[in-house]
Amino acid sequence: MVGDIIINQGEPFVVDEEDLEALESITDSLNINFYKYFNSSTGLFNLPYPYIGYLKLPSKSIVVQPKHEGVSILHAIRIYYFINTLSSLNHFNPKDYSIEAGADFNLDVKKLFIDELKKVIKIGLPTHYSKNNIYTDKLHGNVDLLKSHYRIKLNKAKPINTNSTKLSLNHPINALFRHAFNLIKESVDAKDATLINRNLPHLSKELIFDNTREYVINSVNYYCSHAIHLAKLIVENYLKVTDSSRGINESLLFNFDSVFEKFVKKVLLMFLKDNRISYWRSAKTFGSIKPYDKDKQYLPDILYDFKSSKGVDQASAIIDVKNKSSYYFSNNDIYQMQYYSELLKTSKLILIYPSAFDKEEILFEPFTNSLNSIKAMFINIAASDGVSFIKSLEAFATSFQDSLYK
């Protein structure tokens, strides 16, 4: 957008005095120590490397692009869309994944969400059948106790316990929409806000928002997919802070490292359909620091054919996802993978990196037999049209599968 300052991941920017309060509030909300990344003598601030997105501060707006050459923030948003909405290739629509040449990132995610939500309301909000229990042994209204008791004794009136079903708007997707709308409602046009409030149910004990829920897109709710994606973007990444002058400042920043890792996991699981591909949801302990009893833990990104028997863990292959633009096979990455191989008793080690084009795999070969070779593979995330995007993912999955058996 006009007037925005565009920087790459990890690049510093100047923080004016009027921006300090807002930026400190935003970083605090992200659990980032502002003063760890701010140089007071130069006035420069380095946003931690993994984050991309935008910041709207009192004096400026800043767009943080991915550092990879040829990869734009739109490509990152597409990956986010893939993670949040594509549950089956049967529901793949190439138009949803196409990026026009020269297209720029539209910072107004809030407006995009409201526009999509209005489309969903026009078609009809998602519904499901809810079950209601009916107990006719409960007393309602003006009751003639003596007559009722007499009729029951004569077996002329029997209490009935039954249930009925009816269509309800208390659907998990509507809970997501309502939660996202509540976060941005202060900046929504009054006419749009009235329309949404009139149609979208409010959160209640029957309509509860669950941030851990995954939303499965199918042929019934496909028309909601864009609104779901934008709602998730807002719920998971949008922050709004008010400074002492009561100015509204905001950010929409997400951890591209984390998003890329989730993306690779989903690509492998979706395209290969191999139940030997797995990942841990929590780290495992491999040692302890004495006398403090402080555990040391490890957590590989992806494992192939993991088994655990009688306290011994092992895997056929270890895969780690690295969101790096050029510095492949860093010493730290090599040390990490070699230690993983020792813990899980395997010699097959694979690193996966993003790329803006189709790229041949490369290999680290150690000069000693005590270390294992490590293969680096690349996944093209910058294809322009939707068909090419899916083909690049298919090609990566096929190459990955071949590498497991070589």
pTM of the model: 0.84
Other C-beta atoms closer than 10 Å to the C-beta of 249 total: 20
* Residue 93 confidence (pLDDT): 84
pLDDT, tens only, 382-396 = 998 899 999 999 999
Give the whole-angstrom CA distance, residue 346 versus residue 363.
Answer: 17
Helix (H) or strand (E) holding 289: strand 284-289
Question: How long is the chain?
Answer: 406
How is residue 202 annotated by DSSP? P
Reduced to 3 states (helix: H, G, I; strand: E, B; else coil), residue 314 is strand
* 213 Rama class: left (phi>0) / alpha (psi -120 to 50) / beta: beta
Give the whole-angstrom CA distance, residue 328 versus residue 349.
Answer: 14
* Residue 91 confidence (pLDDT): 76
Q: What are the structural domains, with CATH classification, of the chain?
A: 128-168 (no CATH), 258-405 (3.90.1570)
| DSSP string of 98-136, one letter each residue | ---TT----S-HHHHHHHHHHHHHHH----EEEEEEEET
* Residue 37 confidence (pLDDT): 95
Amino acid at 327: Y
Contacts of 89 (CB under 8 A, 6+ apart): 270, 390
Amino acid at 240: K
Tokens standing for 57? 């501060």
* Residue 373 confidence (pLDDT): 95
CB 163 within 8 A of CB 140: no
Contacts of 237 (CB under 8 A, 6+ apart): 53, 252, 253, 254
* Residue 143 confidence (pLDDT): 60
CB 306 within 8 A of CB 313: yes
* Residue 158 confidence (pLDDT): 60
**Would you give per-residue pLDDT tens digits along the chain (406 residues)?**
445 888 998 899 999 999 999 999 999 988 899 999 999 999 999 999 899 998 889 888 899 999 888 898 889 989 999 998 887 777 788 888 887 655 555 557 888 899 999 999 999 999 987 766 665 555 555 666 667 666 666 665 566 666 667 788 889 999 999 999 999 998 899 999 999 999 999 988 878 888 888 888 888 888 999 999 999 999 999 888 776 665 678 888 999 999 999 999 999 999 998 999 999 999 999 999 998 889 999 999 999 999 999 889 999 999 999 998 778 999 999 999 999 999 999 999 999 999 999 999 999 999 988 899 999 999 999 998 899 999 999 999 999 999 988 7
Classify burial at 264, counting beta carbons within 10 Å of its beta carbon; exposed 0-12, middle 13-18, buried 19 or more.
buried
* Residue 352 confidence (pLDDT): 97
